[in-house]
Copies of this chain bind each other. A is one copy, B any other.
């Protein structure tokens, strides 16, 4: 992961051997292909995210607090990484975007945890009438500024924990299956 950031490009097993001083045979035994090396870097990148999500979900916080911490802690972690080395962060983001199929399982894991939190919130009466999958996609879209690392690079200075909290509060106060009429597709609207 360090080498990828430092060299600004994906590292081959050969390059890893050359830079680390470990024999090519030993590197090849652990990472037979470039894809194996990429998978290992991905695992390393997402390990703190997995730990954060598990800790939040298993906590005894009220469910709206869980939602906030679910996003805020991963956002802070990403922001720390980004600010520590913006160029390396950008390289790793770019790599993740180009190899998105291999990253997909980690995105699915976050969705899995979020579905659990949505069910918990719905048991308390929030997000009334929404299918879990529908709530999931809407919440994912409304919070994407705080989860997609590419956006951190683009709008870091606009992102802040207090805004994230206001967004979570808005979702808890306003998200439901009822049609508020924005699309104007149901019923007549007066001008």
Cβ A180 vs Cβ B169 within 8 A = yes
Tell which of A6-14, A41-49, A155-163 binds the partner. A155-163
Cβ A182 vs Cβ B68 within 8 A = yes
The answer to whether A137 and B158 touch (CB under 8 A), given A65-B182, A169-B174, A180-B168, is yes
Copies in the complex: 2
Kindly provide the distance from the CB of A79 to the nearest chain B CB, expressed in whole angstroms: 15
Cβ A173 vs Cβ B180 within 8 A = yes
- Say whether A62 faces chain B, with CB atoms less than 8 Å apart: yes
Interface residue tally for chain A (C-beta within 8 Å): 50
Cβ B142 vs Cβ A170 within 8 A = yes
Cβ A141 vs Cβ B167 within 8 A = yes
- Say whether A29 faces chain B, with CB atoms less than 8 Å apart: no
Contacts of A181 in B (CB 8 A): 62, 64-65, 169
Cβ A67 vs Cβ B182 within 8 A = yes
A151: nearest chain-B partner, CB-CB: B144
Contacts of A168 in B (CB 8 A): 180, 182-183
